[in-house]
Every structure is written in C-alpha cells, then in structure tokens.
Structure 1
C-alpha cells in the first residue's frame, strides 16, 4: 500500500543531510568511472547520481498520483507543501543555492503539476456524461 506521504521528501532530506552534516562535500565529486565499449570513460558525479535518485522517487510519486483514493487530495497538498518548503529553502538558505537543488526543485514542481494533472484527467474520465439520444 502506498502512503500519502510525498516521496520527494526523501531526496530533500537527503540533500539537507549531505550539505549540513557533511560540510565540504562537493557535488562534483566523482563517484565512479565506467569504461564504455567505445573506449570512452563515463564519470558519474555525486550530483548526477543524486538527480537520478530524485527522478526515481518522482517516478513512484507519479505512479501514486494515478491511484484515486480519498487520500489523494491530501497527498497532492502535501506534495505542494514539500515544494513550497523547497522553494523557501532555495531562496533563503545559502547551501541550497546551487544547480543540484534547483533541479531537485524542478522535480518537485513537476510532481505537483503531474499529480494535479493526472487527478483532473482521471476525474474527467470518471464523470464523463454521455449526450442523451433524442
């Protein structure tokens, strides 16, 4: 069973843990290098891995938004609250003023917009009225 807690709170919390509990950590730190068959070296930085992790959470959030339950409105409101908190942090906290956090904020906004869009679309389908034959 999926909970009405916004899953994107996990990457937001993880970001804050990294920047506040591990000061000096650079987002450009290379986590791994993969040798490709072409001979190219693909380096994956901490920032790129974090964005991919956030996108995985977004995927599950969008899956949650396709389920229409009595708690879906609460879930959408909580997602909006997480986005607003992220926006406030982006504007007011020095450690959040970077591209990694800006991309996380865009992911949160996409979650809010997608959640409401899916809900409206499903509601339209559920309440479609057929014209009467005269």
Structure 2
C-alpha cells in the first residue's frame, strides 16, 4: 500500500502523453469527440483537452491525499521528478512543445508546491498522539 500512496498520479498523464503523442501517432489536436454547447456551438474535444482535464482531475486527487507521512514525502520527491521530466520534455522534445503539455507541466509544478506546503502545514498542526499510531 505504501507504494501506491507514494506514486505520483501525474506520472500516468506524462507516460500516456509520451506513449500516444511522442511515440505514437496521435497529435494534441486530434479530435477525440465533440459536443454541442447550449449556445448551439459545436465544441470539438481534442487529445490535448482530454490530457489537460485528466491532469487537473489527478491534481485534485493528489492535493486531497497530501499528508505529513513518509509515503507523502516520497510522493513529493517523485512529483518533483515528474515536474523536471515535464520541463525537460517541453523544452527539448519537439512533440511536447505544445500548449497542452505546457499546462500539464504547470499542473505538475503546482502539485509539487502544493504538496510540500500542505505537508508542512499538516505536520505543524499534527497532534503528538497521531505520531504514535504511524
């Protein structure tokens, strides 16, 4: 269970982007679906849109699961690695130089910063009785 709590979920998004866009045949502008808005406007949903929405959803899960535990500290360190990989790929991999991947990189940065801030704050206000149970 420790490994699952320590695993950064945004790594799944980066791995999926790399397998579908960098090494696969998909592009961030590939239309994967479309919907009609109440205004009557047809909105095409692209691969890049789907990745960004999924990254925001996983960021939400990461933030609500942040704690001041050893697994969270490992998660924050691995999240930093994910952010660094995103930044390097955005700068040096041609198929990652897209607006959608930049947003994913910024989401990874927010994950790192929010994770450390939440853990520090949780550790500061954590009762001593909780330490005996972990």
Band of TM-score, shorter chain = 0.7 to 0.9
Task: Show the counterpart of 1:78.
Answer: 78
Q: Look up the SS of the partner of 1:68 in the other structure.
A: coil
TM-score (norm 1): 0.83
The separation in 2 between residues aligned to 1:4 and 1:54, in whole angstroms, is 17
Which consecutive unaligned segments of at least 5 residues does structure 1 have?
128-134
Task: Show the counterpart of 1:102.
Answer: 102
Task: Show the counterpart of 2:132.
Answer: none
The separation in 2 between residues aligned to 1:46 and 1:14, in whole angstroms, is 11
1:73-115: CA deviations, max 9, x gaps? Answer: 1111111111112112222222211111111100100000110
The separation in 2 between residues aligned to 1:86 and 1:37, in whole angstroms, is 36
RMSD: 2.0
Pair 40,95 (structure 1): closer, same or farther in 2 beyond 3 Å: closer
TM-score (norm 2): 0.83
Task: Show the counterpart of 2:13.
Answer: 11
Q: Look up the SS of the partner of 2:18 in the other structure.
A: helix
Which consecutive unaligned segments of at least 5 residues does structure 2 have?
128-134
Task: Show the counterpart of 1:68.
Answer: 68
Q: Where is the helix percentage greater, Structure 1 or Structure 2? A: 2
The separation in 2 between residues aligned to 1:88 and 1:4, in whole angstroms, is 23
Task: Show the counterpart of 1:53.
Answer: 54
Which structure has the larger Rg?
Answer: 1
The separation in 1 between residues aligned to 2:98 and 2:62, in whole angstroms, is 24
